[in-house]
Each structure stands twice: as C-alpha cells, then as structure tokens.
Amino acid sequence: MPEDMDQVKQITQDLVRKTAGYVKGLIEYYNENAYSTPSGVNK
C-alpha cells in the first residue's frame, strides 16, 4: 500500500511539473507576442 502511495505522489508531482511548465510557456509566449507586436495586429 505505501508503494502505491509513492507512485501516486510521483505521478502527481510529474503532472504538476508538466502543467507548470506548460502554463509558464504559454505566459512567456503571450508576453513576447504582446510586447513585440503592439501595433502589428492589422493582418
């Protein structure tokens, strides 16, 4: 039973890390686009 809990903890930490990395990437991508092309929205 404790082994299962360790596995669940590891999977959860993995998911949290992946989600955090994904969100961080989205924010950086948005910030880059928002600040580098403020007037270039006329496509």
The identity of residue 25, as a single letter, is G
Q: Is the pLDDT of residue 27 over 60?
A: yes
Q: What is the pLDDT of residue 1?
A: 64
* Number of other CB atoms surrounding residue 2 within 10 Å: 6
pTM summary value: 0.56
Residue whose entry in the numeric block shows the structure tokens 């600040």? 35
Q: Is the pLDDT of residue 39 over 80?
A: no
